[in-house]
Structure 1
Amino acid sequence: MKNILRLLFFSILITSCTEDLNINDNPNTPVNVDKSFVLTAAQGSLVTGLGGQLTNLGGFLAQYHTQPPSASQYLSIDTYNMNIDFSDRLWNELWAGCLNDLNFVLSKSDEEGDTGSFLIASLLRAYTFQILTDLYGDIPYSEALLGSENITPSVDFGGDIYTGILGEIDSALTKYNNNPVPSTVGAQDAIYNADMDEWIKFANTLKLKLYIRMAYTSQANASAVTALLAQNNFITSDAKFALYENAQNKANPFYDVQIDRLGDVNNIASNSLLQFLEANADPREAAIYRTNASAIFRGIDQGDRDNYSSEVASAFSRPNITATTPVYLMTVSESNFLQAEALIRYANGTGAKAKYDAGVLNSFLTFGLDPAGAQTLTGTGGTYEYMSSTDVETALRQVIIQKWVSLAYVNTIEGFFETNRTQFPETVTLGNENYAIGNFVVSVSSVLTGNQTPNTLFYPDTETSKNPNITQKTSLTEKVWWDQK
């Protein structure tokens, strides 16, 4: 493990210093390096973005945290005023680091006939493209990552990208199933230790997520979802990266930057989630947040920092992320909630209650809590008891609210994507909220008009300045293609 960590963090350090590189170039991957080490580096690059900047960004947009009155580093997010250079580092981390490294692994695996490693790299590539297109909308895909063959790739429509990555997943699964060569990367796979059964379950779960995200679009595919449900081979253990140590440059990326380096002063509990947990006596509150300096849970309404101008961050609850907290790609809880939604949409709700209950229970397990607490809340008469309904949106709302809670500091950017897609929790003006049932409020310090909130990010200026085929957006309120509710 120490060898993995040394290579991993060396790779991350190099990648972080190459922010001005074209995304089609990758000087970080020597031609003759063993692909297993490059796979670890790719995973490290992915979770650095996912567990670092995306955890911070998603935390604001999914209203898990807000900017405290005594700090201003992330006011651009909390005021919905992110500019064109906001995500330069993130974009380059995922393209020049993660995706280029994965392409190397794919090429080497194909040369060696290693269909297992080819499948792992294909799934991670699909997962990374999913994040990128869900965040930015239309991005380079079919012409991307071709190196000197095409340094100015055109963008593809997000719906076509989804079709493309679903095809990549199926193609890699077919390649493996026709010639099931176990992956040779072994422990260098920091997520599932090259266990191919686990990666096949991951593939099915990722496919289900992609199909469910298309649910409000013309690309919704009931038959594909029904086939996956019938196969019933989804993840049974959380897909997580857990190689972190309590040491600088080796810790969880959010902890390393926000808590250790920046002094734990930029993120305090948003009442949107905190008061939901408080009102429902949910034990996950203590797993998601730390108490304040007075040993109580305390937050503020999203963006309402001016009313607390004399108070510092320690007067409020803050994210309960430690140096060794894993970064999660997908969890069993998320899988259960995806299945619950699928059953509501495409099976008249039959079986949805069992999957919903399992989603809450597995959320407790991911947070390291006694599952008995979940069973009490979801049992007969419990606060979270599932209520069947013939109205799809009514039945779905309770699933998404619980999914939103389960993703807090587990995968916060997914929390944003899902609330963006479903509009649950609903966004209301401050003063009309009911936090007990789950509500968002428009950030008090928003620069946008009306009840508008961000739906996407601007393309990085480092990319638009080099690629004339990428046209900058006019507003953060532009919707990505699946946001059609």
Structure 2
Amino acid sequence: MKNIIKFLFLTIILTSCEEDLNINTDPNTPIGVDKSFVLTAAQASIATTMGGNLTNLGGFLAQYHTQAPSASQYLDIDTYNMNADFANRMWTELYAGALNDLKYVKQVSEDEGDTGSYLIATLLEAYTFQVLTDLFGSVPYSEALLSQENISPAPDAGEEIYPALISSIDNALTNYDNSPVDSSVGSQDVIYNANMSDWIKFANTLKLKMYLRMAYTTLANPTAVNALLAENNFLESDATFSVYSENIEEDKNNPFYDVQIAHLGDVNNIASSSLLQFYTDNSDPRIDAVYRKNTATPSVHRAIDQGDRGAYTGSILATAFSRPNIKTNTPVYLMTVSESNFLQAEALIRYAGGAGAGAKYNAGVLNSFLTYGLTAAEANALTNTGGAYEYVPSATVETAIRQVMVQKWASLAYINNMEAFFELTRTKYPEIVAFGTQNYSIGNLIISKSSVLAGGQTPKTLLYPDDEVDRNINLTQKGSLTEKIWWDQK
């Protein structure tokens, strides 16, 4: 899908250049390219990265899947041994692809007075930069995307990027409020069809997510969070990129499906006991939405402990285990209503005395079930009094937050795997414990049994891509995967 969109984009650029090029025109800035197509290309780049490489990476780190014993494609992730070339593709896709495209959309929208499209591009830009700084820490931001003006942009600290992103969102919202021009991109906005009400809800939810990411830092801002809670204008529909084909067609399917299932043969990713056993022990019907049963007769759900390939012979194929239930046309989710509900529940617990948190928690579970195609009755059976997921108010903030975060982790499987990893890294819920002490039924993760890291450490970041380090004299490679991201202060 992404390649088709970019082919269309390139065709438009070449046509424009052939018709309009003259010696007074900068050939690096195509004139007359419809910004709506460029916006679609940017959204496709984000979806390809979030739904492809980062779904795979996050699935290992959040312990939704582990490496099948009979294959070895992703041993570097499962053993916590990712090297400096691991992130080359995703870095390039987000910077050279999505962010460059969004910069163009913003420039054209500003020139045209299209405050709606400018807001959409600003929100997607903020979303993308947040993912980058959450993954890598300090990244180029203020000096980024300047092309030949600065080919070695210095990185900005994450604690400086976050406030700048929030400020950019607020400025774009103010500009739209002062001059409310609805976006002209129409259906080329694959996520919300240029519905500005939905994008404003996205803006508020994204800001809430960013404020809560800073909850354990000196940048925590209860006043700003409570203002958002008082406004109460958050996501009411999932933010999805959902234009994938039901048929098996190269570059037209969900990016995880396209690579892991169609191209690599579905031989690598099998269920981790951390999540599958949690679902099983709690009789959670999401198990069948998240995983496919094995191919035994009769078929059953089966998992292995994270990284425990040594317990099995290499002849045991992936088909002997449960595997991710990603289909050709599974959407890529940027944010969901369920995630928004859990963010609000945490905010109410942390900054508003907890009143109303239980209702938001229940809504988070309910909307998770609905996103997976299950029913309200199935969700309510677990959250009602006496149910396995009944919310129990607590005067201890962390005790209450743990309930929210465990359910958030259970709700993000193959919805947004990287967000699950970021949140368990930030809050330490579910807890990562030594193997043999885990209780999967309450939500525990283990240190991968294949880990090469000493002292029970786990990855907190990625190394900078070597392609960028080699080119950028201002970017120094970090020391290890265990360096903490700035908001990881609990």
TM norm structure 1:
0.95
Q: Is this contact kept in 2: 1:49–1:90, CA < 8 A?
A: yes
SS across alignment from 2:54: helix
Write the deviation string for residues 348-396 of structure 1: whole angstroms up to 9, x where unpaired.
1100000000000000000000111111100000000001011111000
Q: What is the one-letter code of the residue matched to 1:452?
A: Q
Q: Which residue in the other structure is 1:303 paired with?
A: 307
State, as a whole percentage, how many aligned pairs show the same letter: 66
1:412 match: 417
Q: How far, CA to CA, are the matches of 1:377 and 1:30 in structure 2?
A: 55
Quick check: 1:279–1:436 contact (8 Å CA) kept in 2? Answer: yes
Offset at residue 125 of structure 1 (A)? 0.1
SS in 2 for 1:362: helix
CA distance in 1, matches of 2:28, 2:221: 39
In the alignment, structure 1 residue 167 sits paired with structure 2 residue 167:
yes
- State the partner residue of 2:356: 351
Contact 2:217 2:489 in 1 (8 A): yes
Change in Cα spacing, 1:201 to 1:334, as seen in structure 2 (3 Å) is: same
Equivalent residue number for residue 274 of structure 1: 276
**Whole-Å separation in 1 of the counterparts to 2:376 and 2:461:** 36
Counterpart CA distance in 2 for 1:97 and 1:31 is 18
| TM-score (norm: length of structure 2) | 0.94
Residue in 2 that maps onto 1:111: 111
| SS of aligned partner of 2:333 | strand
* Secondary structure at 1:465 match in 2: helix
Letter paired with 2:383: T
CA distance in 2, matches of 1:151, 1:369: 49
Q: How does 1:106-185 map to 2 (within 5 A)?
A: 106-185=106-185
Distance 2:434 2:6 in 1: 44
Count matched residues. 470
Deviation by residue 1:413-437 (Cα, 9 ceiling, x = unmatched) = 0010001101111111111110000
CA–CA separation in structure 1 for the residues paired with 2:353 and 2:53 = 39
Give the structure 1 partner of residue 254 of structure 2: 252
* Cα distance in 2, alignment partners of residues 372 and 130 from structure 1: 36
How do 1:334-373 residues align onto structure 2 when only pairs under 5 Å count?
A: 334-373=339-378
1:215 counterpart residue number: 215
Equivalent pair of 1:328/1:410 in contact (CA under 8 Å):
yes
The 1:68/1:460 distance shift into structure 2, 3 A limit, reads same
Residue 70 of structure 2 corresponds to 70
Cα distance, 1:6 vs structure 2: 7.7
Q: Are the structure 2 counterparts of residues 90 and 451 from structure 1 closer, same or farther at C-alpha, using a change threshold of 3 Å?
A: same
Structure 2 distance, partners of 1:404, 1:273, is 9
AA matched with 1:297 = H
Give the Å deviation of 1:168: 0.5
Cα distance, 1:451 vs structure 2: 1.3
- State the match for 1:459 in structure 2: 464
Residue 387 of structure 2 corresponds to residue 385 of structure 1 = no
Q: Distance in 2 between matches of 1:72 and 1:432?
A: 27
Where does residue 19 of structure 1 map in the other structure? none
Shift of 1:149: 1.5
1:248–1:210 CA distance, 2 compared to 1 (3 A)? same
- Find the counterpart in structure 2 of residue 54 from structure 1: 54
Q: Secondary structure at the match of 1:481?
A: coil
Are 1:400 and 2:410 counterparts?
Answer: no
SS state at 1:55 partner: helix
CA distance in 1, matches of 2:263, 2:32: 36
* Partner in structure 2 of residue 439 of structure 1: 444
CA distance in 1, matches of 2:312, 2:378: 34
Shift in Å, 1:290: 0.3
Aligned residue in 2 for 1:203: 203
For 2:118, the aligned partner's letter is F
SS of equivalent to 2:441: coil
The amino acid that maps onto 1:191 is I
Distance 2:46 2:426 in 1: 23
C-alpha contact (below 8 Å) 2:9/2:37 kept by paired residues: no
Offset at 1:10? 3.0
Is the CA contact (8 Å cut-off) linking 1:7 and 1:41 kept in structure 2?
no
- Structure 1 unpaired stretches of 5+: 15-26
Kindly state the Cα deviation for residue 450 of structure 1 after the two structures are TM-superposed.
1.8
The aligned counterpart of 1:425 is: 430
CA–CA distance in structure 1, aligned partners of residues 357 and 124 of structure 2:
29
**2:18 maps to what in 1?**
none
Superposition RMSD in Å: 1.5
Which residue identity does 1:10 align to in structure 2?
A: F
- The answer for unaligned runs of 5 or more in structure 2 is 12-26
Query: Is 1:10–2:12 an aligned residue pair?
Result: no
2:268 is aligned with what amino acid? N
Q: Is the 8 A contact 2:208 2:228 kept in 1?
A: yes
Structure 1: distance between partners of 2:369 and 2:7: 34
SS in 2 for 1:340: helix
User: Residue type matched to 2:208 in 1?
Assistant: L
Structure 2: distance between partners of 1:332 and 1:404: 14
- Mapped to 1, the partners of 2:10 and 2:366 lie a distance apart of 38
